[in-house]
Amino acid sequence: MNPFEIVLMALQAAALMAVSPLVVGIIRKIKARMQNKVGASVLQPYRDLRKMFRKESAVSENASFLFRLIPYVCLTSMLLLAAMTPFVYTQVIAPYADVIAMVYIFTMFRFAMVLGGLEGGSAFGGMGSSREVMMSVLIEPALLISIMTLSAMTGAGFDLSAISGSINARGAAAICPALLLAGTSFVITMVAENTRVPFDNPDTHLELTMVHEGMLLEYSGRGLAIMEFASMVRLTIFMALLGTLFFPWGTAMAMTAAELSVSLLAITVKMLAIAFGIALLESTVAKMRVFRMPNMLTASFALALMAMVSLYVL
Amino acid sequence: MMVTLTAVIPIVAGAVCLLPFGVKNVSRISAAGALVMLAASVYCCVAPLTGETIDTWIWYVDELSGFFILITAFVSFAAVLYSTDYLAVEWREERLNAREVRRFYCTLFVFISTMLLTFAVRSAALTWIGVGVTTMVSAFLVGLYKDESATEAAWKYIMLCSVGITLALFGIAMLYTASSGVVADDSALDWPTLVANAAAFNPLFMKFAAIFLVIGFGTKAGLAPLHNWLPDAHSQAPGPVSGMMSGVLLNCAMYAIMRFYSVSEIVNPGFVRTLLLAFGIVSVFTAAAFILISKDFKRMLAYSSVENMGLIAIGLGIGTPLAIYGALFQTLAHSLCKPMMFFCAGNVIQAYGTRSMPNIRGVSGKMRFTGFATAGGALAVAGAPPFPMFVGEVMILYGAVNEGLYLFAGALAILLAFIFAGITRSIFPMLSGTTSREVFEHRSVLRGFAIFSLFACALFFGLFMPEPIRGIFETMIALLSGGST
Amino acid sequence: MDVLGFHFQDTVIVAGFFAATLVPALVGIVLGAIFKSNKVANVVASLCIVSCAVSVSTYPLWHLGLALEYTLPIPSAIGEYRLAIDQLTACMISFSSVIFMLIVVHVVKSTSDSGCRYSALLNALFLACFSCMSADSVLVLLFSWELVTLTTFLLSKKGNNDHARWMFFAIAHLGGMVLICAYSFMASVAGTQVLSQWDGLSSALGHWTSMALIMAIVMGFGTKLGLIPFHAWMPDLYATAPIHTATLLSTVCSNVAILMVFKTVFSYIGITAALTPIAFAIVIIAVATALWGALESLVQREPKKLLAYSSMENMALVVLCMALGIIYIVESPALAKLVLVAGLLHTLNHSVFKSLMLMSIDTVEDCTGEKNIGRMGGLSRTLPALSAVAIIGILAMAAVPPTNGFVSEWLMIQSLMGADLESKGMSLVIPLILAAVGICGMMMAASYARLYGFIFLGRPRSEAMENPRPMKRGTILPLALLAALCLGMGLFAMTIMDVLAASIVSLIGMPPSPGYRSVMSGELLPLVLGTAVVATVAVLYWASKRGAQPEREVPTWSCGEDLDENMQYSSIGFTQPLVKVFHPFYGDTTVVRETKDSKVRTVIIEFVEPFVKYLYKPLGALLTGISERIGKTQTGNIQTYFAYVLITLVVTLLAVRVF
Amino acid sequence: MDPILTSNLIDIFAVSMLLTSVLAMASARMRPLIKLFVLQSFFLAAFEFTVAYSQDEPHIYVMAAMTFGIKVILIPRMLQYIMARIRVDDELSLSVGIPGSMLLSTGLILFSYYVSEPLVITLTTEERNSLVLSFAIMLIGLQMMTTRRKAITEVVGLLMAENGLFLGAIALSNGMPFIVELGAFIDVLMAIIIIGIFAFRINKSFDSVDTTLLRRLKEE
């Protein structure tokens, strides 16, 4: 690793985090357009974050030190993940971009969120945490297995960059049932993990449906800004993972200007496509009932498992 | 000479007890008598246990006899000490009158004497007579209270054991027939002669002798399904007598079986072993079933005796030196632990006035010492380390596995686990909890000492085995596996 | 060896070491048995601490190259007390002693379980565990293992918990009996009782027998680890026994069991290719146990029961690792080393975080007098120090970086994934195991979130929570040390792993290369990731706090109403969605309606452990039924008894005549 | 005397003993039962006497005398005394009816032949029958104990079984050493005395000697 590479990696992590509000803004904009609305500017999320970051925070008198710490834990985990995720360049902080560690950092994020939801002692927080926990029990194994399928398929160990690079290098030959199944599972996981429709609606605070927002209910001001930002980053990371792990073609594998610019273009197109997909999904599908969710999540889990199994059976 | 004295001392002590002294004085006399008896027995056994067999007149004391005599003397000593206070309480609470107390001591000493005698004689016939006489004498001790239950128990005891004794006599006759013609008439039934000449005996008669002796003495030893007198007699006898019956009386019959075993193994190798294995496992099985359902404290302990006799039989039945070691060790362990447990049960029952375990609660709270000893005793009897019965069980299982009796060992292990569960389930709830009864612990130094000394001995043998004692066991194993001394 | 200029013979040092370990504990037992006063109880406990402290030095002494073999100068009926300590044993003894010591310190400080009797039994338990781990003779091993059972049984007396204790005692003894048979058999095959001379008996045993033995040994020790179906005693005992007993049982005793399983399976029996089928059976049991523990932990009402199921799950994972080790060892020794290291590391980690959590939870119960998790809450403001150490324990249990729990689970999944999947039927099994481990991990995390969230966070749900008694002085010390261990072992896991790997190599007798690191990714990851997490959070927090507006304390938002104590999510409700998802496994959720007044109606949801209801109770009834049948043979009528004698005689004669 | 005659006599006495046993099983009243026991004991004494004569063994004479003294005279007297004292009802209560008992006895006799066959072939002719018969008498004695309910009948059953035993012992080896015989007799006598004492106690406690009343001691 030369210093330039390190700078590049840091840059790509920074870029990933920097564009995440934009990604959310774009999704919202596309959604608005689909619903024949004008919609806010794609930069609106930046403005919201800035406004909230400056405001005074009101903390529940029942909250403990943990409550104040949790936003930073969440942000930290996203920071680390951003550094691990291949974005425009497959080489990330290898050998520390460990897929298993990645799943556990997601767990850490979620655990912190759940505990945060239980602080304050309102009914909504507990409800959000409860539902989050239910979903995570099914999501997390699916995520683990779908990523593991890639690892096993490529035989590249546990390093995200190696996996990504290996699939990339194989070109079209890498397309196989396992990849497709795992990819599908990952898409469902992505939607569920980021609490998008049909699992949750990030835009409402309706007590019957909310999961993610329930947990954030007690946060305000800077804490809320950080939590919201972390969630945005999470979505972006998932989208980036989908683009660079499951469909990594185009991502730069070497540090040449040509490859990097192609990769930049490719990732932009991929992200836009995924954003469009999410927006389309959210505009066309209704929110699911809470106890319907497990069915969908189990399907995702089964898909992942099938992907893994298909590696050896087919 | 010394042996004669050992056997006579208790009788003298018993006779003195009959003299019309007060209950307190009788207690003192009997305690002193027991001490002298113990001293005489120890003195008498020193030589045999160090390798010099006593062989005079009708007496023959080698390591095996010495081992049993010492156990008997020690347990009897503890039992007499325990009786002094136990009987005094019974007398104070007017369940017994002074005359009955005096008679009790007299019978008790005669009983002790007959047991010592059983172990110390040379002839099989005399051993048989000794076993027979112990039954008759102890029947009075079982029936001490003269109420309906005690009488019933004594009746069953004496009738069943008489049948057993009769069968055993037939076995002795068979043994005599098998040996006659090989050995001169006069010494034809002497254990050492039998062992020495066994190789020339008629094997067929020895087989029949084996059947009758094992069933006959087995009735007395409490092997299932011949054991039915045992829970009745043990539960109805007063505490100290239950302890003695279980701790040493059963040994008498077992000793006879052991002696015969060493002869028979030379003539028909494996025959008695098979019989003993069968009776042993049936005993353990039966005991397991009864322990699981028993509600009566003393009856449950009695079934545990059945189990232990079964284990000893199994140990002998396996017949390897290791298993025989296990059997002998189990004998020692049982003789130490079971009387102690019966004494504890005596304390509890005297204080609570009931034998029904579901009605006894809160012993540890009300009676500190008894509670402690009962907990220890229960663990010992159930077969938990560091008590010696665990060691005995392990040895026997180990022996069984070594002999290739895998299924047998497995079944035995499971049965032992059930027994363990049954005993602990019944006893430990008695210790905790609360009771609404008026409970008063009868405490006295002698009573405590009796329990404590047995407890200490049990613990000692569970943890340690000094070389000399180990040597004695080795000799006994050699004796039993048919080797001559 | 030279110490401070004095020259000592090695044998003298070894004897001195054993004496220094054993004698204080023995003295403690004697003192505790004689005296009653609380002052002496402290002396007795401190003797135990002395013994523990000395035995911590086991590994350093081993490292110095001393042959830690010793025969006590007192023979017993079971032969000589031979002790011998190899590398793995030394590791485990040293580590377990640390845990033991911290627990005893907590006993002294918390005074809830003190008393001469208790302290004396602690000494006895220490001796039993020590001699079990270091036993070099079969009978000593069996003896001390049973002694462990016995002392924990005696230690677990508290109030009226006879049934729970008895259940434990009976099941553990059943396991002990199985072990006695298994070890006797091995001894008879090996021809010696000296364990250190047993070397790869599997060639002499034949593979069917070896497989049966491995199963017997895993299940025999598994009765104490809580493998299905022998786990039924755990929740009740953990909930009713004195907490330090439960803690010792869950940590030190489990360590002993795991060590013995490892030593027996890998060293005494020895693994060959033919033995893999049994590993699959063990895998199935372990996975089932882990899943069961995770499922049941979700619905527990009492925190200690929850932790009991958590222990069960964790130990099942360790057993799973062991079984995978059996599978891997033939084809890929390096991977086998990795998975075994993962298992052992998890054992050690578990003993740290579980002792921390059990004692923390007990402190909660002690301070508030409340046992129902549904009536707790809000303790983080009133007991801040406790909640701080507890969160570390919770994070460790939930395998969140940078704690030690994360490292071992990370290793475990790595070794699962790294399996050479081209071989055998493994390819299908591994994904399933992986899925199961993943689901277990998340369910346990959910349980732990519930545990922490409903005890420490939120608003108080009952009076007792508002003003808890302050913690007893000094009790925080051992807890804080354990919490520090949780973090330290997470960061510096590699050091421990190297030691464990070396121990495993010497235990199995494999060539040292290829080392486990060759198949492991991210060697420095625990340290780097852990540091990164801690540092980033710290930096962000510090940076963000600067220039922030001061916070305002406000009541929790409540839609304008006043919040009463029931207007919070309930602990049962928290996991209710999951219960609904996995409903078939809970079988019966009994709803009891009690009508006290005409208007007031309480609904209680009770979860009955299905194993107790559908296995233990019918089995017990069956046994009692059989026993009562047999009991009928005792009619009380003497004629029947004569008939038995007659029949016995006739049958015996007939049998002899016929055969 | 003629050896054939003595051997015939021996057989006759032995068979008569079995016969009395069988008859005893068939008797439904107490007094005939005791009489049959006396008769059996008498046959035993006669048997012993004949054996003593034919073998010229002085100690068997003594035994014969003792058998006569104790079993024919002393014990029946005692039994009658006990019966008189506790006013035993003469009716026997049977748990198995007489035809059933007969069948059982026959079965036991056949069984004795079957079982002792390997033993018998090693023996001389006169010993043969006696041994088989002694087996049969013992088993029938036990059978009586099993199927008769009164305390006294149990005792009689035991005594009959003992008679069988002595028959066998003498047939096999001309009796055991004298001291054994003596001990055995004393044992029997003591047993009967003690059993008698307890029979009184039973009568006192239960107002009956029907031992079926003695069935409180068992597991609930």
Q: What would the pLDDT profile of A129-146 be if each residue is shown by its tens digit?
A: 998 898 888 888 899 888
Instruction: Give the pLDDT of residue C593.
Output: 66
Q: Determine the Cα–Cα distance for residues A134 and A290; give it in Å rounded to an integer.
A: 10
Cross-chain CB nearest to D219 (options C634, C649, C657) = C634
Is residue C176 exposed (0-12), middle (13-18) or buried (19+ Cβ within 10 Å)? buried
- Report whether B259 contacts B171 (CB < 8 A): no
Q: Give Cα C615 to chain centroid, integer Å.
A: 23
> How confident is residue C601, by pLDDT bands cut at 50, 70 and 90?
low
Give the three-class secondary structure for C581: helix
Count of pairs with CB atoms under 8 A, one residue in B, one in C: 158
Q: Kindly state the tokens that stand for B221.
A: 């030893």
Task: Chain B: list its partners (3+ Cβ pairs within 8 Å).
Answer: C, D
Please answer whether residues B154 and B142 qualify as being in contact, where contact means their C-beta atoms are separated by less than 8 angstroms.
Answer: yes
* Best of D174, D198, D200 to mutate (most B CBs within 10 Å, chain B): D198
- State the maximum Cα–Cα separation within chain A, in Å, rounded to a whole number: 59
- pLDDT grade, residue C578 (50/70/90)? confident
Tokens of B262: 């060493």
- In sequence order, the β-bridge partners of residue B39 are none
Reference A195, options A295, A293, A81, A74; nearest CA is A293
- Could you tell me the CA-to-CA distances from C484 to B118, C396, C475 in Å, in that order? 70, 11, 15
Cβ-contact B146, B156 below 8 angstroms: no
Secondary structure class of C83 (helix, strand, coil): strand
Domain presence at residue B285: no
Whether the bond into B10 is cis, omega within 30 of 0: no
Provide CB contacts within 8 A for B57, sequence distance 6+. B4
User: Does the beta carbon of C643 lie under 8 angstroms from any beta carbon of chain B?
Assistant: no
Joined together, the tokens standing for residue A148 give 């593991």
Quote the CA–CA distance of D40 and D159 in Å, as a whole number: 10
Which candidate from D115, D143, D154 shows the least CB-CB separation from C653?
D115
Does residue B370 contact residue B441 with C-beta atoms inside 8 Å? yes
Measure the CA–CA gap between C85 and C133, rounded to whole angstroms.
8
User: Contacts of residue D154 in chain C, CB cutoff 8 Å?
Assistant: 638, 642
How far does C612 lie from chain D, in Å, by closest CA?
Answer: 27
Question: Under an 8 A CB cutoff, do D146 and C654 touch?
Answer: no
According to DSSP, residue C554 is labeled: E
Q: Which residues, other chains included, contact D29 with Cβ-Cβ below 8 Å and sequence gap of 6+? A: D90, D91, D92
Q: What CA–CA distance (Å, rounded) separates B118 from B125?
A: 10
Collapsing DSSP to helix, strand or coil, D21 comes out as helix
Residue B182, judged by CB atoms within 10 A of its CB (0-12, 13-18, 19+), counts as middle
Looking at residue C405, its amino acid is G
For A245-296, write each residue's pLDDT tens digit. 888 888 888 778 888 889 889 999 999 999 999 999 988 888 888 778 888 8
pLDDT digits (tens, 9 = 90+) for C262-311: 999 999 998 888 888 899 899 999 999 999 999 999 888 899 999 999 99
Query: Looking up tokens 């001469």, which residue turns up?
Result: C116
State the pLDDT confidence band at C91, using cuts at 50, 70 and 90. Answer: very high
Question: Going by beta carbons, is chain A in contact with chain C, meaning 3 or more pairs sit under 8 Å apart?
Answer: yes
Cα(B132)–Cα(D10) distance, integer angstroms: 30
The closest alpha carbon to C556, from A207, A118, A230, A132, belongs to: A118
Q: Are strands C552-554 and A58-60 parallel, antiparallel or unpaired?
A: parallel
ipTM metric: 0.90
Which residues of chain B does D190 touch, with a Cβ-Cβ cutoff of 8 Å? 133, 136
**How buried is residue C39: exposed, middle or buried, by Cβ count under 10 Å (0-12/13-18/19+)?**
exposed
Interface test with C, best of A52, A55, A64, A295 (most C CBs within 10 A): A64
Q: How far is Cα D158 from Cα D146, in angstroms, rounded to an integer?
A: 10
Q: What is the spatial distance between Cα C22 and Cα C48, in angstroms, rounded to a whole number? A: 9
Task: Report the C-alpha gap between D102 and D134 in whole angstroms.
Answer: 18
- Nearest Cβ partner for B189 among D165, D177, D214: D177
Instruction: Express as a percent the part of chain C with pLDDT over 90.
Output: 55
Distance from CA of C642 to the nearest CA of D (A): 5
- Helix (H) or strand (E) holding C77, with range, is none
Q: Residue B294 domain-assigned? A: no
Longest Cα–Cα distance of chain D, Å, equals 64
Give D-chain residues touching C649 at CB under 8 angstroms: 139, 142
- Give the whole-angstrom CA distance, residue C112 versus residue C103: 13
Say if the Cβ atoms of C445 and A105 lie within 8 Å.
no
* pLDDT at C563 > cutoff 80: no
Tell me the two tokens of residue C98: 């640390």
Task: Report CB contact under 8 Å: B133, D151.
Answer: no
* Total domains, chain A: 1
User: Angle B357-B362-B363 (CA atoms, 0-180°, nearest 5)?
Assistant: 80
Least CB–CB distance from C657: residue in D95, D115, D214: D115
The pLDDT of residue B364 is 86
Q: Are the beta carbons of C413 and A144 separated by less than 8 Å? A: yes
* B143, B173, B294: residue with CB nearest D172: B173
> Model confidence at D220, in pLDDT bands (50, 70, 90)?
low
- C178-227: pLDDT as tens digits: 999 999 999 988 888 899 888 888 888 888 999 999 999 999 999 999 99
Question: What are B440's two structure tokens?
Answer: 């008063």
Are 3 or more Cβ–Cβ pairs between C and D shorter than 8 Å? yes
Contact map slice: B 48-107 vs D, CB within 8 A: none
Least confident of A49-58, A206-215, C224-233, D37-46: A206-215
Residue C544 touches partner B, C-beta closer than 8 Å: no
Residue C458 forms contact with A (CB below 8 Å):
yes
Cα of B125 to nearest chain D Cα, Å? 6
CA atoms within 13 A on the CB side of C142: 33
Q: For C31-36, what is the mean pLDDT?
A: 87
Q: Phi and psi for C252 in degrees, rounded to 5?
A: -65, -45
Sign of CA dihedral A257, A263, A267, A273: positive
Strand partners, C80: C75
In a mutagenesis test of the D interface, which of C629, C632, C638, C644 is the best target, namely the one with the most D β-carbons within 10 Å?
A: C638
Q: Find all residues with CB under 8 Å of B431, minimum gap 6, and list them.
A: B362, B363, B364, B371, B374, B375
Integer Cα distance of C453 and C213 in angstroms: 44
Q: What is the pLDDT of residues D23-74, one digit of tens each?
A: 998 887 888 899 999 999 999 999 989 888 888 878 888 888 988 998 899 9
Per DSSP, the residues of C371-397 read --GGG---HHHHSHHHHHHHHHHHHHH
Distance from chain centroid for Cα B459: 18
Lowest mean pLDDT among A165-169, C163-167, C391-395, C625-629: A165-169
Best probe of the B interface among D176, D188, D193, by most B CBs < 10 A, is D176
The total of other beta-carbon atoms located within 10 Å of residue C60's CB is 11
Q: Do B162 and D172 touch (CB under 8 A)?
A: no
Q: Is A53 on the interface with C (CB under 8 A)?
A: no
Task: Give the 3-state secondary structure of residue C73.
Answer: strand
Neighbouring chains of A at 3+ CB pairs within 8 Å? C
Residue B221 lies in a domain: no
B-D C-beta contacts closer than 8 Å = 128
The per-residue pLDDT of chain C, averaged, comes to 88
Determine how β-strand C2-3 pairs with β-strand C6-7. antiparallel
With CB atoms and an 8 Å threshold, state whether B292 touches C624: yes
Higher local confidence (pLDDT), D128 or B381: B381
CB of C417 within 8 Å of a chain A CB? The answer is yes
Q: Across the strands, what pairs with D91? A: D29
Whole-number pLDDT of residue A73: 94
**D99 to chain C, closest Cα gap in Å:** 18
pLDDT 10s digits, A77-94: 999 999 888 888 877 766
Of D33, D21, D20, D15, nearest to D76 (Cα)?
A: D33
The per-residue pLDDT for C2 is: 65
CB contact under 8 A, A96 and C525: yes
Its domain, for residue A54, covers 3-313
Pairwise CB contact (< 8 Å): B463 & C76: yes
Backbone angles phi, psi at B129, to 5 degrees: -60, -45
Q: Name the closest residue on chain B to residue D181, using Cα atoms.
A: B125
Q: How many structural domains comprise chain B?
A: 1
Whether residue C646 and residue D139 make contact (CB cut-off 8 A), yes or no, is yes
* Touching chains, D (3+ CB pairs < 8 A): B, C
C127 has pLDDT over 90: yes
Element spanning C33, H or E = helix C10-34
* Burial of residue A36 (number of CB atoms within 10 Å: 0-12, 13-18, 19+): exposed
Helix (H, G, I), strand (E, B) or coil at B436: coil
The secondary structure of C51-92, three-state, reads HHHHHHCHHHHHHCCCCCEEEEEEEECCEEEEEECCHHHHHH
Q: Quote the domain boundaries for residue B25.
A: 1-122
Spatial distance between the Cα atoms of B218 and B131, rounded to a whole number of angstroms? 12
Closest CA to C243 of C124, C161, C146, C360: C360
The pTM of this model reads 0.92
Cα separation of B367 and D153, whole Å?
48
Please, are residues B195 and B262 in contact by the beta-carbon 8 Å criterion?
Answer: yes
Contacts of D154 in chain B (CB under 8 A): 159
Nearest residue on chain B to D186, alpha-carbon basis? B129
Q: What is the largest CA-CA distance in chain C?
A: 104
Structure tokens at D28: 């439904």
Dihedral (CA of B390, B391, B394, B396) sign:
negative
User: Which whole-number Å values give the CA distances from B296 to B309, C579, C621, D217, D220, in the listed order?
Assistant: 20, 46, 20, 11, 9
Separation CA D207–CA D91 (nearest Å): 16
CA B123 – CA B112 distance, rounded (Å): 19
Chain B 188-207, residues with CB within 8 Å of chain D CB atoms = 188-189, 202, 204-205
Assign C595 a pLDDT band (cuts: 50, 70, 90). low
A and B touch per CB criterion (3+ pairs under 8 A): no
Angle formed at CA C292 by CA C287 and CA C297, multiple of 5 degrees:
130
Give 10-residue mean pLDDT values along chain B (485 residues): 85 89 88 93 90 87 93 95 91 88 93 93 90 92 88 91 92 87 78 88 90 95 92 92 94 94 90 94 95 92 95 94 94 95 93 90 88 92 91 92 91 95 92 82 87 94 90 92 57
Contact predicate C652/B211, CB 8 Å: yes
Whether residues C650 and D111 touch (CB distance < 8 A) is answered with: yes
Q: Which positions in chain C have a beta carbon within 8 angstroms of at least one beta carbon in chain D?
A: 631, 634-640, 642-643, 645-646, 649-650, 653-654, 657
Q: Which two tokens stand for residue D204?
A: 């006192």
The helix (run of H) or strand (run of E) holding residue B1 is none
Look at residues C220, C309, C221, C214 and name the one whose alpha carbon lies nearest to residue C257. Answer: C221
